[in-house]
Structure 1
Amino acid sequence: MTDYHINVFYSTEDGGWVADIPDLQYCSAFGDTPAEAVTEVLVAKQAWLEAALEEGKPIPPPKYRPAIYAAV
C-alpha cells in the first residue's frame, strides 16, 4: 500500500511548522521544526485511522499527489 502524502509548510500566522495529510480531512499537526511537525502528524494519522475504524467510517485510499513544476 502506498502511504499518504504529507504537506509541510511554515505558517507565519501560527509561528511554526504545519504538516497535513490532504487525503485525511482535518488531519494536521504543528511543530517548532519541520521534523517535529511530521512526527506529530504521524501520531495524528494513527489516531485518525483508529477513530475511523472504531466509528465504522470509510478510510479513503491515498490519492493526493502534489503537482511538481519544473523550473525553465
Structure 2
Amino acid sequence: MYKYQLFMYWSEEDQVFIVEVPELPGCVAHGNTQISALENIQAAIQLWIETAQEFGDPIPQPHYQRLIMA
C-alpha cells in the first residue's frame, strides 16, 4: 500500500467517489463506494509509478502533509 496523501470527494454529477493524489499529477480514480475508490486509487498509483519508471521520470516521495480545509 502506498502512503501518498489522498483527497476524496463525492461527485454529484457522476454519482461516484473520486480520489486524487496531489503529489502525483493526473493520478485520479473513482468508485461507487469509498472502499472501491480507495482500491482503485492504489491500482492507479501503481500504474503511475510504473509509467514514470518506464520513461525515467522522477517519482515524488510522499510528504505526509495534513490538508486543512476551511
Give the alignment's TM-score, normalised by structure 2.
Answer: 0.86
The whole-number CA distance in structure 1 between the counterparts of 2:7 and 2:42 is 12
1:1-72 → structure 2 map (5 Å cutoff): 3-63=3-63, 64-67=65-68
The whole-number CA distance in structure 1 between the counterparts of 2:30 and 2:69 is 24
Runs of 4+ residues deviating >2 angstroms: none
The whole-number CA distance in structure 1 between the counterparts of 2:28 and 2:66 is 17
* Range moving further from structure 2, 13-22 or 37-46: 13-22
Count of equivalent residues: 68
One-letter amino acid matched to 1:26: G
Name the % identity: 34
Give the alignment's TM-score, normalised by structure 1.
Answer: 0.84
Query: What is the Cα deviation at residue 61 of structure 1?
Result: 1.8
In terms of Rg, which structure is larger? 1
The whole-number CA distance in structure 2 between the counterparts of 1:23 and 1:43 is 16
